Amino acid sequence: MKEFKVIERFFTGRGQNRRDVVVNIGDDCALVAPAENKSLAISCDTLVENTHFYPDIPPKALGYKCLAVNLSDLASMGAEPAWMTLALTLPDVDEAWLAEFSQGLSDIAEYYGVSLIGGDTTRGPRSITITVHGQVPEQKAMTRDGARNGDWIYVTGTLGDSAVGLKLIAGELDCDISAEAKHYLINRHYYPSPRVLAGQSLRNLASSAIDISDGILGDIKHVLKRSEVGAVINVEQLPLSDELVNAVGQEQAINYALSGGEDYELLFTVPESQRGALETTLAHAGVSFTQIGQICTGDKLKLLRNGDSFAPTNLAFEHFS
Amino acid sequence: MKEFKVIERFFTGRGQNRRDVVVNIGDDCALVAPAENKSLAISCDTLVENTHFYPDIPPKALGYKCLAVNLSDLASMGAEPAWMTLALTLPDVDEAWLAEFSQGLSDIAEYYGVSLIGGDTTRGPRSITITVHGQVPEQKAMTRDGARNGDWIYVTGTLGDSAVGLKLIAGELDCDISAEAKHYLINRHYYPSPRVLAGQSLRNLASSAIDISDGILGDIKHVLKRSEVGAVINVEQLPLSDELVNAVGQEQAINYALSGGEDYELLFTVPESQRGALETTLAHAGVSFTQIGQICTGDKLKLLRNGDSFAPTNLAFEHFS
């Protein structure tokens, strides 16, 4: 099957049919009409077989996830998703695989209003690069450099589930939990929920935001560095799912929450003056959120547990990177 | 070396420093400010080792070429280049290789005014995906569907050089030409010239345009299909370089010109009424152009040589795809 046949059959017209797409797949470039008075947010992520996913990942999960991780970047800026390009490299043309992959990708694209406007299919070791485009009102994007002394630190959802889900997928974790609980943890790895609506809701409240892809310990450092501040995190406040705690116990759950990675939740900071508005605003976004600490002066990250200094255990855990 | 170190050291700030970049590399997304009253042209191409290039390709050539092939897509729509994202997958961090690759990419990015605004570096089998963004006045983009009966067919530059250059690189062609001639042909493969300025100049003249990546025989069919027309090409009018003819002879040169691929020249159609303006317009773009045939009714592509039917020889030539 030739390249353009693959595109025609499995990808043309996928995702949302948007009126701002002037020329769709099938010409040398796609042409789109950016909205007026908005900035364009652009992000690009690659998933490589054996680096980011196992060869036997369900193709539907892979199709979903490769867009989800990109949408998470848009979410952290507060941008509204619009268009994507897909670069798909495959060792062979497996029609059953392509149909499932394409379905997973279409499902999430339609849900978040993303139109697939172009791409490239090539032969080679399996990998997927998506470049996603979103729009955000001028001057309203959340960035990593706005955290200030005294701002409160929040995260959406729960942390650590995805990393334990991966352990279960790899068969590296033996635990006595229900099939439903295992399914939940595995799905948190395969089908992360990009916090797109929450991100947009936070635009007028948060002083900074970042999505959690490497674990909060790693990701918050980007905020601290760019904002030139320090932070205190109270690990007893980390939001942990019951499934996670049941699977690995409270102590390990904290470690997974700190540095497991691939949560694709948002970490954001909110000035004291905006805390009142936060609850109302995020209620509409349908996502839980938890205060886990506070920004301080300096440039250090301090972990506390019930007021005492806390040192995370080395998980000896090589998450996909 | 960690991902962000690679980006910081080799890629941040590369290409042109553009004033419409609001947030550059270093946040979750890049933020740019699209121009008013312009459409955004977006294209994405992947080059995979052993599929599109040999492992021993000079890294500087690879860095140059992976942007050049994308810019060629913008050129064919008449768009002005603006921003790019780079997804770079590498088996290891080879600093000397990265320095050269980055130099080749920067050279062409600066020349064409492209800013590198984001990307992803990952570990895996070597491949490069660039998504390039350009801008074109609303309603002015050239597409594949505008060719009409009677329009004249033109190409820029010369055809076939790149495919023979690749044969020389692969050591699959033994010919008695000068070192300079070999160098010319090889450079046409490694350093194709995207016809960016020509594409912009043609916006008000050409009825359709496409860039020649698979050879004109393959590429013109996209124009014929989308425009619902046929065409006659006079093969004796194909523009051939002296180096090409000296390397493989007149007969084979025609075959390479027809289906060698990777020329990255433009093929475009011009109505009779616009032919007068063409010479003046393209003179400013500094590129030669040659009339090679005419659009006709029907849906067939007819090849003639001095008025007689012409059948191309099967080159038994598997060009990179």
Cβ-defined contact of A33 to B74 (cutoff 8 Å): no
| Nearest CB to B118 within list A30, A43, A72 | A43
Give the pLDDT confidence score for residue A316 in this predicted structure. 44
Cβ-defined contact of A31 to B52 (cutoff 8 Å): no
What is the residue-averaged pLDDT of chain B?
93
- Give per-residue burial for B211-248: e unless 16+ CB within 10 Å, then b: bbbbbbbebbebbbebbebbbebbbebbbbbebbbbbb
In order of B34, B99, B146, the CA distances from B294 in angstroms are 37, 46, 14
Higher pLDDT, B230 or B26: B230
Percentage of chain B with pLDDT > 90?
85
Give the pLDDT confidence score for residue B321 in this predicted structure. 41
Cβ-defined contact of B48 to A124 (cutoff 8 Å): yes
| Nearest CB to B73 within list A28, A77, A211 | A28
CA distance B76 to A100: 34
Residue A112: HSE in the Cβ half-sphere, 13 Å Cα cutoff? 34
pLDDT values of chain A reduced to their tens digit, one per residue, 321 residues: 566 577 777 887 777 789 999 998 888 999 999 999 999 999 999 999 999 999 999 999 999 999 999 999 999 999 999 999 999 999 999 999 999 999 999 999 999 999 999 989 999 999 999 999 999 999 999 999 999 999 999 999 999 999 999 999 999 998 899 999 999 999 999 999 999 999 999 999 999 999 999 999 999 999 999 999 999 999 999 999 999 999 999 999 999 999 999 999 999 999 999 999 998 888 888 899 999 999 999 999 999 999 999 998 765 444 444
What is the per-residue pLDDT across B235-274, written as a single tens digit (0 to 9) for each? 999 999 999 999 999 999 999 999 999 999 999 999 999 9
What does residue A85 show for φ and ψ, rounded to 5 degrees? Answer: -110, 150
Q: Report chain B residues whose CB lies below 8 A from the CB of A228.
A: none
CA torsion sign, B48 to B51 to B54 to B60? negative
CA distance B237 to chain A (A): 25
Q: What is the DSSP letter of B247?
A: H
What is the per-residue pLDDT across B116-129, written as a single tens digit (0 to 9) for each? 999 899 999 999 99
Segment B180-206 mean pLDDT: 97
Give the pLDDT confidence score for residue B126 in this predicted structure. 97
Give the pLDDT confidence score for residue B286 in this predicted structure. 84
- Indicate if the pLDDT at residue B57 is higher than 70: yes
Cβ-defined contact of A40 to B23 (cutoff 8 Å): no
pTM score, whole prediction: 0.93
Cβ-defined contact of A44 to B133 (cutoff 8 Å): no
CA distance B214 to chain A (A): 12
Q: Report chain B residues whose CB lies below 8 A from the CB of A29.
A: 41-43, 73-74, 76-77, 79, 134, 141
Q: Is the distance from CB of B105 to CB of B10 less than 8 angstroms?
A: no
In order of A156, A201, A203, A269, A280, the CA distances from A274 in angstroms are 17, 13, 12, 10, 11
Cβ-defined contact of A42 to B85 (cutoff 8 Å): yes
Give the pLDDT confidence score for residue B4 in this predicted structure. 56
Nearest chain A residue (CA) to B33:
A39
Give the pLDDT confidence score for residue B43 in this predicted structure. 96
In a mutational test of the A interface, the residue from B7, B42, B135, B223 whose CB has the highest number of chain A CBs within 10 Å is: B42
Give the pLDDT confidence score for residue B314 in this predicted structure. 61
Q: Report chain B residues whose CB lies below 8 A from the CB of A200.
A: none
| Nearest CB to A40 within list B27, B34, B210 | B34
What is the per-residue pLDDT across B259-312, written as a single tens digit (0 to 9) for each? 999 999 999 999 999 999 998 888 888 899 999 999 999 999 999 999 999 998
Cβ-defined contact of B3 to A125 (cutoff 8 Å): no
